[in-house]
Structure 1
Amino acid sequence: MASPNREVLPLISLLFSLFCLIETNNGESIVSTVNEGLEAQREFDYFLLSLQWPGTVCRRTRHCCASNGCCRRSNAPAGFTIHGLWSNYNDGTWPACCSGPSFDIKEISPLLEGLQKYWPSLSCSSSSTRHGKKGLFWAHEVEKHGTCSSSVTRDEYSYFLTTINLYLKYNFTEILTEAGYPPSNSERYPLGGIISAIQIAVGATPTLVCSHGAVEELHVCFYKDFKPRDCIIDSSSHENMVASSSCPRYVSLPEHTPVGLGGVISNPWLDQVEAI
C-alpha cells in the first residue's frame, strides 16, 4: 500500500465521484477523483496510522520556512511524526473528502502544542483541502480523511486527539531503537528485522514505504476499536506479505539534520510525492 497509489481509484468511480484537489510537495496541484457520493456512504472497515520518517522526507526540502518542521533547529523531529489517520476498506479502497464541517483551528487550540511537536507539516507548501481551497496540513488531513471516520472519531477535536494518543501509545521510534535499529546515516538494517520488531511490540504486521532505500513511511493498522490488526497488503508474493515492494532487503533510517530558516537544500534525488 505505497502512499502514491492512494490517489488512484477505479475508473468506474468517475460516475459517482466529485473532484478533490491533491497538492504535491512542490506546490503543484493535481486532480484526483474520490468516491464522495457512493463510497462515502459505506462504513469504513479499519484505520491506517501513517507515520513519516523526517530523515527521509526532509531530504526533499528545497527551501525552509517557519511552517516546515524539517527546518526546526529547536525541537527538530528526531523520529517518526504523524502523517495521518486514514479510514480504509478491506477491499483495498478507501473513502475520501466525505461530508462534514470545514477545518476550524479554534476547535483544536488546546492541542496545538502537541500537534506542532508530533504532527508537523514537513513542507512549506499549503495543502489542498476540499472544494479546491488551500490550507494547513492539518486541514487537509481532517477534511480528506477525518471526515470519513466521523462515526468513530466524531468531531475535529476528537480526530486529532485520538490520533495523537494512538501515536504516543506506540512509540515506534523507541521500539526500533531498543531493537537495535536507531537512526543512523551510516548503518543499513534488515527489513525483516524492522518488521519483526514492530510485530512483537504491537502484535500485528505493518507495512513500510521506502524511497531510495530509506524508510519514508510506516503504516500500522487498527480495527475500529483501535486494537492492532495486520495491514491489507498484496498477497501475490511473499515479499509483499511483509512490506512494500518499494523497500529493499536492507534499509536505512537516516538521521534528520535541520537546515534552519533561509537554508537551501540541493539533493540529486528530489522527487515528487503527493501530500495525502
Structure 2
Amino acid sequence: MNFFQSSGSSGCGTSGPASCQNANTPAADTCCYESPGGLIMQTQVWDTDVAGSPEDSWTIHGLWPDNCDGTYIEDCDPSRDYKNIAGLLESQGASSTLEFMQQYWLNDDGSNEKFWEHEWATHGTCYSTLNVDCLPSDSPTGAEAVAFFETVVRVFKTLPTYDWLAQAGITPSYSQTYSLSDLLSALEAGSGGYTPTLGCSRSDKLSSVSWYFNLKGSVIDGDFVPISTLHDSTCLSSGIQYLPKEG
C-alpha cells in the first residue's frame, strides 16, 4: 500500500520522524509533528440496515488521533465545535468531498450532519497539527475542519476493505461464515502486509475494521505511514457472519 499524501499545503514537509517514533526527543513544533495523538486510527463500518449505504463498500466512521500508548483524549476545543459541516465544506470549495461523504459517511439514523459534527468536535479538534495557530493567519474560520474532512476522505479511499476481502473470495452472505484468520489474511494481503483490528457485534457479525497509521508532517498534507494494529480483534475465531446490506 502506498503512503497516503494529501494535495494541500501546511509548509511542514515530511522529512522529519513519524509520530510516535520520537519518544526520546519531545517535538518542538506540534504543528508539524502530531502529538500526543500520533497513533492514528481510520475506522470503517459495515452497517447492514442503513438506507442508501453502498452494497459494495464499507463506510467511514472516523479518523481518530489516539495517543501512542493506545489511550486517547476527546473534545479538545469546544470553541471549535462547528455546526453545518456541509455548508462549511461548500463555502470553502470542498463540494466534491461533501458529495463523497453523503455516500460513504452515513449515520445509522440518517442524521449525517450530526455525525460529522460529532466526529470533528470529538476527534478532529484533538489533532495538534490542525490547531488554528498552525494555519495561515488569513485562513477562513473552520479551514482546519475542512482540511480534516478532506483528509479523512482521502485516507478512506486508500483502504478498499470490501475489495480486498472480495479478492480473497470473501463476500457478504446469509449462509457462508468465515474465520478470523481468513479475514485478516485477506486484508493483510490487500494492504501490503498490515494487520487491522476487526470488530464484531455479538461476537459473530462483522461490523467494523480499524486501520492504523503514524504520521510524518501535518494532517493537512503529511504522509500517513501504515502500521499493524496494537489491539486484538473482538470477533470469534470462526463462524463469523459477513451479512449483506438490507438498507
> Residue 177 of structure 1: which of 166, 171, 174 is its match?
166
Q: TM-score, normalised by structure 2?
A: 0.69
Q: Structure 1 residues 141, 77: CA separation in 2 closer, same or farther (over 3 Å shift)?
A: farther
Q: Partner amino acid for 2:145? A: E
Closer/same/farther in 2, CA of residues 198 and 152 from structure 1, 3 Å limit:
farther
- The answer to whether 1:81 aligns with 2:59 is yes
Query: Matched residues in 1 for 2:208 and 2:174: separation?
Result: 17
1:45 aligned residue (38, 41, 46):
38
With the length of structure 1 as denominator, give the TM-score of the two structures. 0.62
For the residues of structure 2 that align with 1:90 and 1:231, how far apart are their CA atoms?
A: 12
Contact 2:36 2:68 in 1 (8 A): no
Q: Are the aligned partners of 1:209 and 1:247 in contact in 2 as well (CA < 8 Å)? A: no
Taking the aligned partners of 1:193 and 1:172, their CA distance within structure 2 comes to 14
| 1:29 paired residue number | none
Measure the CA separation in 2 of the matches of 1:91 and 1:165: 26
How many Å apart are 1:249 and its aligned residue?
2.1
Instruction: Tell whether 2:109 aligns with 1:123.
Output: yes
Whether the aligned pair in 2 keeps the contact of 1:206 and 1:221 (CA below 8 Å) is yes
Alpha-carbon deviation of 1:90? Answer: 2.3
Which string of whole-angstrom CA distances, capped at 9 and with x for unpartnered residues, describes residues 116-169 of structure 1? 111111224x69xxxxxxx61000001000111241597111111111111111
Relative contact order, CA 8 A, sep 6+: which one is greater? 2
Which residue of 237, 241, 245 maps to 1:252?
Answer: 241
Matching residue of 1:209: 199
Structure number with higher helix proportion: 1
Offset at residue 220 of structure 1 (A): 0.7
Distance in 2 separating the partners of 1:71 and 1:196: 30
Structure 1 residue aligned with 2:21:
none
Alpha-carbon spacing, 1:150–1:115, altered in 2? closer, same or farther (3 Å): farther
Alignment of 1:85-234 (within 5 A): 85-99=63-77, 101-104=80-83, 105=85, 106-109=87-90, 110=95, 111-124=97-110, 136-151=114-129, 155-202=144-191, 203-212=193-202, 213-224=204-215, 225-233=223-231
2:51 aligned partner: 71
Letter matched to residue 208 of structure 2: E
CA contact (8 A) 2:40 2:213 kept: yes
**Contact persistence 1:77–1:117 (CA under 8 A):** no
The Cα of 1:198 is off from its aligned counterpart by 1.2
Question: Is the 2:177–2:241 Cα contact (8 Å) retained in structure 1?
Answer: yes
Contact 1:222 1:229 in 2 (8 A): yes
Deviation at 1:231, TM superposition (A): 1.7
Q: Secondary structure at the match of 1:136?
A: helix
Gaps of 5+ in 1: 1-40, 59-69, 128-134, 234-239, 259-276
Root mean square deviation of aligned Cα: 2.3
Percent identity over the alignment is: 27
Instruction: Tell me the secondary structure at the aligned position of residue 209 of structure 2.
Output: strand
In structure 2, the gaps of 5 or more residues are: 1-33, 136-143, 216-222
Return the alpha-carbon distance in structure 1 between the equivalents of residues 42 and 163 of structure 2: 17
Quote the Cα distance in structure 2 between the aligned partners of 1:162 and 1:77: 24
Q: Take 1:77 and 1:116, find their aligned partners in 2: how far apart are those partners?
A: 15
Q: Specify the alignment match of 1:18 in structure 2.
A: none
The answer to whether the 8 A contact 1:78-1:255 is kept is: no
Sort the Cα spacing of 1:181 and 1:114 in 2 relative to 1 into closer, same or farther, 3 A.
same
The separation in 2 between residues aligned to 1:150 and 1:138, in whole angstroms, is 19
- Answer yes or no: is the 8 Å Cα contact 1:97–1:145 preserved in 2: yes
1:77 positional shift: 4.5
Distance 1:142 1:194, change over 3 A: same
Q: How many pairs does the alignment contain?
A: 186
